Chains A and B, each alone.
Chain A
Amino acid sequence: MTTIDPKSPAAEGAPADRYLEYSAIDTGYRAVRWHEKTLYEQSRPGSTNAILPAVEKGIVDAVGDVVAALPAAARRARPPEMPELSEPEILRHYIRCSQMTYGYDSGNSMGLGTCTMKYSPRINEQLAALPEVKALHPLQPEETIQGILEIMYGMRNWLCELAGMDEVTFQPRGGGHGAFTDACMIRAYHHARGEDFRDEIITCAVSHPCNPATASAAGFKVISLYPDEVTGELGIDALRAAISDRTAGIMMTAPYDTGVFDSQIAEYARLVHEAGGVVSLDQANFNGVMTRMRAGDLGADMVHFNLHKTFSTPHGSYGPGAGAVAVKKAFRDFLPVPVVEFDGSRYHLNSDLSNSIGKVGTFMGMVPNVVKAYAWVLAMGAEGLREASEWAVINNNYLIKKLLEVRGLDISWPNRRKLQEARFSLAKLHDETGVGTLDFNYRLADFGVQTYFESHVPRIVPEPVTPEPTESISKEDVDQFVAAFHHISAEAYSNPEIVLTAPHRSIVHREIHDYENLTQVPFTWRVWKRTHPDG
């Protein structure tokens, strides 16, 4: 544990930066800062890039004037307003932007709970970048993509086995999109049975917010249950209070974001089925239970996986997301299309499902991610998956043991064993020092460590902290993370100003989250111009 030496620079009121330098756990991290303007702002009219040759005469003769084929109404009145820069300038810009970011490859990212930040083997990136994958056309005839379809079908079989389900779609582009697919299928299912009056989805406050959000987006009313103060579980009595003849289904995450696995899920599923509802289990937190728990065996009708979390394809802004939804036979007919089928010798794309909810994404899904997930599972094997879950859970329980030695930090539902992650609380530290979780997290960035995930909403644990050390995390990573926590806690108790003014080594001092005025945030150039009329 870090203690503060009374002779240290900190005790003498030295700048916060010196204080950290004095510590043995300083990584020397300093964020790179460039006064980098957007490409639009850097634009110099007339600057140019590759100069393309004019179209050869033979081509013109054969094709004619391509633009002339466009109806006048579809043509631009003037060219698009694009920035004008040379190739090296553009390259430099993106290199500088990348230098100002912190990502999985920069250092210890175990803080990002519920994100399952695991290492994504580089070789899988190379596989996905093979011309056979990269140059694939989404409308290629089936007979020319048998290999890709074989991979998709193979991944389908593995997911069915892991989930205890019968069919899979790779259409969703992420976890929330997968949950939305579930919600749409639940709606279609009741419609097909003439039970449109079922308009309530039950969920809970320790599920991912995409569960209530997608249910709401699909037109359902949402009933949220809250975990019991002692057990961390929803409880049969609470569920009974929510169930009615209007129950369309339950959408919940298992294990919860708190790392608690609800021991009564099978009973919840039975009660919801008894009431005529559908059971959807969000498997975004699957990393702690691979090969040990099958949602289908617990009574779930449908699940979604995040290929970019559990299956390493990868997560965290260095790759697109990919969801996979697996369902029981009774719901196969409601899946989005196409699904991949195998007749014993050839693979087919079937877009003819009578009750299909239609398309939730274009073409065949996020194919490169399926390739990476397939390669990852193939390399791991069933034993490897089991072992990965064990390591993730052991890492987390080691973290819990070490972190609970930090002054001012507590854990929620302390009497429950946690799986892939746990939700801690800095409420005590906050009450005793004025340093809250937001301040603490900003300070953590000074250690060259990824900041942690605080909590989803609603925040039922005050001043929350939710790290998730996956199987890729070493003991040294956990120890580094814990040492930083000890250091910051000691600062909070002795010289809170250091923490309250953190970070000291980052390019942005404090983020200002003004969620009330999202419409004023210039996410696009067009909005920027509108909100900055004077440039």
Chain B
Amino acid sequence: MSERSGGAGPTAGAASTEPGGGPDAGVATRRRIGLIVNPLAGIGGRVGLKGSDGAETVALALALGAVPMAGARAAETLRLLAEGAAPGGLRGHLPGGHSPEIDLATYPGEMGEVVAREAGFVPTVLGSIQTGATTGADTRQAAEDLLSWGADLLLFAGGDGTARDVFAAVGGRVPVVGIPAGVKIHSGVFAVNPRRAAELVTEFLAGRAGLEDREVMDIDEDLFRAGIVSARLFGYMRMPYRRALVQGAKSGNPGGPSTLRDVAFGVLAEMDRDPGAYWILGPGTTVKAVAHELGIEKTLLGVDLLHRGRLVAVDVNEAQLLAFLARKPESVRARLVVTVIGGQGYLFGRGNQQLSPAVIRAVGREGVVVAATLDKLHALGGPLLVDTGDAECDAYLSGHIKVVTGEVDRVVWRVTA
């Protein structure tokens, strides 16, 4: 059992008695990062267990000789962050070579303290844990405690399960950066690797990063082990993203990187071209932004139905959608607005299973409007993905598709199964 050790080091002592207390007080360049390492994240992967959720799986993984990886992944990010304040670190990426001073707080032992100290930080250590037997409850408690401590950003190492726990505790109240260390990474809140995580944190602390809502997703591990991917969207957390620094200066979008609002206006323009149609609105903040511009309160995680600017049904499931599509007059088209899962690229089959192959066929490929910011697409670095569970439908959707990226901007992006 590790005990709370806040106040042990000079930094820790200073942090707890900082004049003014809050993160906004004192020198503006001192920023607070909360660190959570889920030491058991990813433990099931190397030994073929397709996940690490639950005590039984963890025990089995350890019995099979699994070695925890999350600590090492977090250590790499922290090492780069620590060097950020010293020559040779990330400061080369910042104008003027300036790097903000970092106050770090974390949980004891393997939940962050060890790697933080190894990287040269003198962390404020909160809470207590049962060494070797941490659970999701510890992650949730840590996230809450770090938020109370005044973290400007939560940095966590883990997988989808860890992201869910962090989300359950703090929701969208604090920006997060995930260090990918899990078996399942379907959520959009993870950097692609530990180095990019460090860069994102640095850019964020320097005030140079944008913030966007990213999906918190998880799949059912039992189904996954049976070969079925069933990803559910749990909500959104805010994550910094690195702006293309020269974007806007010479691009076709003089206003800079496209925002959700630009994208929403672009979708509205598509709606104007087909005013009589029924519009099925998929989940997500991008689609919600479209509804927002129409003055409509759309469900964030659900599929809603729109006709002539009014919601006619909310949070409908596949059966309700099919019943509706069968009932509607032949002459009235049904259209569908969907977005892309950030960082992952899924268009269909993750978090929007209501939009089943039958629904997609009824709407038709040409009836689908895909909406996403350009930053989101560029960050993918690859094609959009479809995994509807129906190979024929996946093939039908594959090819190239137009994506609304702004009021007057569209791109054509490749779709593949």
A contact set with B: CB distance below 8 Å: 200, 203, 205, 209-213, 215-216, 220-226, 228-229, 235, 237-242, 431, 434-436, 438-439, 456-460, 496-497, 499-501, 509-516
Contacts and interface: CB of A to CB of B under 8 A. Distances in A.
Contacts of B411: 205, 223-226
Contacts of A209: 250-252
Contact of A224 (B92, B247, B409): B409
Contacts of A434: 80, 88-90, 92, 195
Nearest to A204: B412
A436 B93 contact: yes
Contacts of B400: 235, 237-238, 240-242
A75 B253 CA distance: 41
Contact of A212 (B90, B252, B401, B414): B252
A241 B401 contact: yes
A222 B92 contact: no
A387 B95 CA distance: 44
B252 A221 contact: no
Contacts of A224: 252, 409-412
Nearest to B273: A246
B195 A431 contact: yes
Contact of B92 (A211, A216, A235, A500): A500
A501 B91 CA distance: 9
Contact of B410 (A222, A228, A431, A435): A222
Nearest to B402: A241
B96 interface: yes
B327 interface: no
Interface residues of B, number: 38
Contacts of B247: 457-458, 515
A220 B408 contact: yes
Name the residue in B80, B96, B244, B250 with the highest tally of chain A Cβ atoms < 10 Å from its Cβ. B250
A515 B246 contact: yes
B273 to A, nearest CB: 9
B252 A216 contact: yes
24 contacts: A209-B251, A212-B252, A213-B250, A216-B252, A221-B408, A223-B411, A225-B412, A226-B411, A226-B412, A226-B413, A237-B400, A238-B414, A240-B400, A241-B400, A431-B195, A434-B88, A438-B93, A439-B92, A456-B250, A496-B92, A500-B91, A509-B96, A512-B96, A515-B249
B384 to A, nearest CB: 12
A112 to B, nearest CB: 15
Given A457-B247, A500-B92, A510-B95, A242 B412 contact: yes
Given A203-B252, A434-B92, A515-B245, A501 B410 contact: no
Given A224-B412, A434-B89, A212 B95 contact: no
A458 B410 CA distance: 14
A213 B250 CA distance: 7
Q: Which 7 A-B pairs have the closest CB atoms?
A: A212-B252, A500-B92, A241-B400, A512-B95, A221-B408, A238-B400, A223-B410
A221 B88 contact: no
A177 to B, nearest CB: 14
B252 A222 contact: yes
Nearest to A502: B92
A501 B402 contact: no
Nearest to A213: B252
Interface in B73-121: 80, 87-93, 95-97
Contacts of B252: 203, 209, 211-213, 215-216, 222, 224
Interface string B375-417: 0001000100000000000000001111000001111111000
Contact of B412 (A212, A220, A223): A223
Given A209-B251, A497-B87, A515-B246, 16 more contacts: A212-B251, A213-B251, A221-B409, A222-B410, A224-B409, A235-B400, A238-B412, A238-B414, A242-B402, A436-B93, A439-B92, A439-B93, A457-B247, A457-B251, A500-B92, A515-B247
Nearest to A433: B88
Given A221-B409, A238-B412, A458-B378, A513 B246 contact: yes
B254 interface: yes
Contacts of B92: 434-436, 438-439, 496, 499-501
Which secondary structure dominates where chain A touches chain B? Answer: mixed
Nearest to A208: B250
B87 A500 contact: yes
Name the residue in B92, B244, B402 with the highest tally of chain A Cβ atoms < 10 Å from its Cβ. B92
Given A209-B252, A436-B92, A513 B408 contact: no
B300 interface: no
Nearest to B407: A221
Nearest to B83: A434
A458 B254 contact: no
Nearest to B90: A434
B306 interface: no
Nearest to B415: A241
B248 A515 contact: yes
Contacts of A431: 195
Name the residue in B244, B245, B254 with the highest tally of chain A Cβ atoms < 10 Å from its Cβ. B245
B245 A513 contact: yes
B86 to A, nearest CB: 9
A513 B95 contact: yes
Nearest to B269: A221
Contacts of B401: 241
Contact of A216 (B91, B96, B253, B414): B253
Contacts of B249: 457, 515
A39 to B, nearest CB: 27
Contacts of B95: 510-514
A7 B195 CA distance: 32
A362 to B, nearest CB: 25
A235 B399 CA distance: 11
A496 B378 contact: no
B251 A458 contact: yes
Interface string B224-268: 000000000000000000001111111111101000000000000
B219 interface: no
A384 B47 CA distance: 66
B412 A241 contact: yes
Nearest to B248: A515
Nearest to A224: B411
Contacts of B88: 434, 496-497, 500
Contacts of A501: 87, 92, 97
A224 B247 CA distance: 15
B35 interface: no
Contact of A222 (B93, B245, B409): B409
A492 to B, nearest CB: 10
A115 to B, nearest CB: 13
B148 to A, nearest CB: 32
B252 to A, nearest CB: 3
Name the residue in A237, A238, A431 with the highest tally of chain B Cβ atoms < 10 Å from its Cβ. A238
Given A213-B251, A237-B400, A458 B412 contact: no
Contacts of A226: 411-414
A215 B409 CA distance: 11
Given A216-B408, A226-B411, A515-B246, A241 B90 contact: no
Nearest to B401: A241
A209 B413 CA distance: 18
B337 interface: no
B277 to A, nearest CB: 17
Contacts of A456: 250
B72 to A, nearest CB: 17
A459 B91 contact: no
B35 to A, nearest CB: 21
Contact of A457 (B195, B246, B382): B246
A514 B249 CA distance: 10
A436 B90 CA distance: 10
Nearest to A214: B252
A456 B250 CA distance: 8
B355 interface: no
Contacts of A213: 250-252, 254
A100 B92 CA distance: 24
